[in-house]
């Protein structure tokens, strides 16, 4: 991937990195471990981002 990217694309990539986190522990406690996995979790090998 090129080093120079448009700002909009950088912001979208950053948002994707931030959103790819685990479910917080307090959410698991509050829901009695009903949500242990994040439904929108994405792997870097599978599941590509939209451009």
* pLDDT, tens digit (0-9, with 9 covering 90-100), for 31-41: 999 988 888 89
DSSP 8-class letter at 39: T
- What is the rounded distance in angstroms from the CA atom of residue 6 to the CA atom of residue 20? 22
- What is the rounded distance in angstroms from the CA atom of residue 50 to the CA atom of residue 47? 10
* pLDDT, tens digit (0-9, with 9 covering 90-100), for 1-47: 678 999 999 999 999 999 999 999 999 999 999 988 888 899 999 98
Question: Are the C-beta atoms of residues 35 and 23 closer than 8 Å to each other?
Answer: yes
Q: What is the pTM of this model?
A: 0.65
């Amino acid at each position: 991937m090129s080093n120079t990217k448009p700002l909009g694309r950088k912001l979208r990539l950053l948002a994707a990195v931030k959103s790819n986190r685990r479910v917080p522990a307090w959410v698991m406690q509050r829901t009695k471990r009903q949500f242990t996995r994040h439904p929108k979790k994405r792997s870097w090998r599978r599941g590509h981002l939209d451009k």
